[in-house]
Chain A
Amino acid sequence: MSKAAIEGPPKGGFSFDLCRRNEMLLQKGLNAPSFLKTGTTIVGLVFQDGVILGADTRATEGPIVADKNCEKIHYIAPNIYCCGAGTAADTEAVTDMVSSQLTLHRHHTGRESRVVTALTLLKSHLFSYQGYVSAALVLGGVDFTGPHLHTIYPHGSTDTLPFATMGSGSLAAMAVFESKYREGLTRDEGVQLVAEAISSGIFNDLGSGSNVDICVLTKGHKEYLRNHLQPNPRTYISEKGYSFSKKTEVLLTKITPLRDSIHIIEGGDEMEE
């Protein structure tokens, strides 16, 4: 019994077979599982000698902080890094996938990867999933053609910009960039400005928080500054401390030795052919 005439090779993208069943379940009152979103502030800017990327480190699940110190600046190639906002699994998966593809490509071509290659691979993947892969990315790197900074939206569109912000804290960070950005910043000025923009997201956006991560990319050199700033220490640690009484009791410890169940039969019949 076949529904379609001939089934070809799998075409990639999502299979929508279960959509009707999911719809029916939702109407019956099923709570759909929630996604871990990064509710984030991510930024990038181009400076004199290259590109600087920045990100906060809070991952949220609704109103709860799931991870206080996660890494949102992902490795794509030795000279290319990518910040990710949106669904954490999607940003991880898509950046890991493109990173692997570029490694193979480098072996194939014998050359350093270019930022536009990563850009094309990412945007065509996201477009083919029609926005269902919820990954909003800030891609930055330095290759032989120079420094590059791009934003990639979940539906697959891209922008090429001198400075960019994404995530729920993007407005707070962009306010800082629009006030203080200028061309030809030095490395220290650039790092300072990125840190300020991320801090603005951390303190003014509830979806962003904890620490500032920074990545400085220049020709032939990268500096990954994990937890460059830690402006949110725990405010109160009780001196006396708290203990939790053990509620479980060991009633009885009984060790049952395994029975010796090997019986050696002497002189059995030979196996027949």
Chain B
Amino acid sequence: MPIQQANWSPYDNNGGTCVAIAGADYCVIAADTRMSTGYNILTRDYSKIIQLADKSVMASSGFQADVRALQKVLEARHLVYQHQHNKQMSCPAMAQLLSNTLYYKRFFPYYSFNVLGGLDSEGKGCVFTYDAVGSYERVGYSSQGSGSTLIMPFLDNQLKSPSPLLLPAKDAVTPLSESEAVDLVKTCFASATERDIYTGDKLEILVLNAEGIRREYMELRKD
């Protein structure tokens, strides 16, 4: 009998795109709200963004069942941290926790492509970008998901992040103002929606700054 290949996969891809941009004193995190499977739309109104701590927000695309499970684990761990340390987790601390949580399942990964955004202990914007098994890096901006290949080159062109290998270490945050960064994000998604079938419906934008957190929505193409 010839060797049989597995024809059942535990994973599915629900599509979607996430972007995060760090500024001098703010952070913008955005994701579309379309959830799909194959050629079908499951819902036009699904949030891929979650606030994990008062200064940490995570956006994840990929397999939403794994994303949801990951979010629950992180929320629970943050609650434990709060009980033990009597304070909220800082964004860099949450970044390390996310990395460890992902690597914990190295041999049956969370099919989740994450960007973590927030403000660090000095109040400066920070963005951390991950792969599915927890490799992470602090960057000035990032995108993940089905439209990331369309958005990343545009962000590279506009935000020109200096290489993290340069010495002395240069700051990765963009000098753009908050409204300019939001404009940039809207342009990125409107463009990605034109060419990526899995991105569209509505755009959810979260802006974190010293005053708190602000949420904004924008309509995208629904086809």
Contacts and interface: CB of A to CB of B under 8 A. Distances in A.
Interface of A: 39, 58, 60, 63-65, 68, 168, 202-210, 231-232, 234-238, 240, 242, 244
A231 B222 CA distance: 9
A235 B190 contact: yes
Given A206-B40, A244-B157, A64 B196 contact: yes
A236 B195 contact: no
A234 B146 CA distance: 19
A205 B157 contact: no
B143 interface: no
B220 interface: yes
Interface in B174-189: 180, 183-184, 186-187, 189
Nearest to B189: A236
Interface of chain B, main secondary structure = mixed
Interface residues of B, number: 27
B39 A207 contact: yes
Contact of A234 (B40, B190, B197): B190
B216 interface: no
A208 B187 CA distance: 23
Nearest 10 A-B pairs (CB), nearest first? A209-B223, A236-B190, A206-B197, A65-B195, A206-B39, A202-B223, A238-B187, A236-B186, A232-B223, A207-B39
A205 B40 contact: yes
B141 to A, nearest CB: 15
Contact of B195 (A64, A208, A240): A64
B197 A207 contact: yes
Contacts of A168: 39
Contacts of A231: 223
A240 B181 CA distance: 12
B75 interface: no
Contacts of A65: 194-197
Nearest to B146: A63
B183 A208 contact: no
9 contacts: A63-B197, A64-B196, A65-B194, A65-B195, A68-B194, A206-B39, A235-B219, A236-B189, A236-B190
B76 interface: no
Given A202-B223, A204-B41, 16 more contacts: A39-B39, A63-B146, A203-B222, A203-B223, A206-B41, A207-B197, A231-B223, A232-B221, A232-B222, A234-B190, A235-B190, A235-B193, A235-B218, A235-B221, A237-B190, A242-B158
Nearest to B150: A64
B196 to A, nearest CB: 6
Nearest to A245: B157
Nearest to B198: A63
Nearest to B193: A235
A204 B218 CA distance: 20
Interface string B21-59: 000000000000000101111000000000000000000
B145 to A, nearest CB: 11
A222 to B, nearest CB: 27
A242 B41 contact: no
